[in-house]
Amino acid sequence: MTDLICVGSIAGSFGVRGEVRLKSYCAVPEDIETYSPLTDESGAQRYPLIITRAIKNGFAARLGGVETKEQADALKGLRLYARREQLPSLPDDEFYHADLLGLEVYDTGGTLLGRVKSVQNHGADDLLELHGPGLKSTVFLPFTKAAVPTVDLEAGRIVADPPEGLL
């Protein structure tokens, strides 16, 4: 498990005074401000964050050290991370996406299906993107209790019961 969890990203500049368009990946979107200062993926660069107002699809925000539109534009695509200890602990049946990446996925008979490459969400439930030597192409496994009855982070494995015809 990684010490840094991605909690948001910069979608570009907002206005001409150095504000950024902020996308929050938090369950309660405005909570991203409480985890400030945020960092880049390496943890080397720190960004104090203040939300200035809600806008369509996110927030307008100020990042420490960003004063101009050009500086804000240069940060487009930057993923923002918080330290794990800053984040709330989760119930037993919830997981941070970062903790699922790289886990091996087995079927209920113990056969290795693949490894989790990413967690996707296109509006409904989360999907686990699986890759593996036995798979002809990428497989998207629904991340539901029915399709994924067991997630064992300590053992680094997931037990899945894929829907009929998925594999």
Ramachandran category for residue 41: left, alpha or beta (phi over 0 → left; psi -120 to 50 → alpha):
alpha
DSSP string for the chain:
--SEEEEEEEEEEETTTTEEEEEE-SSSGGGGGGGPSEE-TTS-SEE-EEEEEEETTEEEEEETT--SHHHHHHTTT-EEEEEGGGSPPPPTT---HHHHTT-EEEETTS-EEEEEEEEEESSSSEEEEEE-TT-SS-EEEE-STTT--EEETTTTEEEE-PPTT--
Cα Rg for the chain, rounded, in angstroms? 18
What are the structural domains of the chain? Answer: 4-86 (2.40.30.60), 97-160 (2.30.30.240)
Q: Mean pLDDT across the chain, nearest whole number?
A: 91
Average pLDDT over residues 129-150: 89
Model confidence pLDDT, tens digit, residues 17-32: 999 999 999 888 999 9
Question: Of all residues in the chain, what percent carry a pLDDT higher than 90?
Answer: 67
pLDDT band at 97 (very low <50, low <70, confident <90, very high): confident
Indicate the pTM of the whole model: 0.76
- pLDDT above 90: residue 121: no
Supply the pLDDT for residue 36. Answer: 92
- How do strand 38-39 and strand 46-47 relate by DSSP bridges? antiparallel
Q: What is the pLDDT of residues 36-91, one digit of tens each?
A: 999 999 989 999 999 999 999 899 999 999 999 999 999 999 999 999 998 888 88
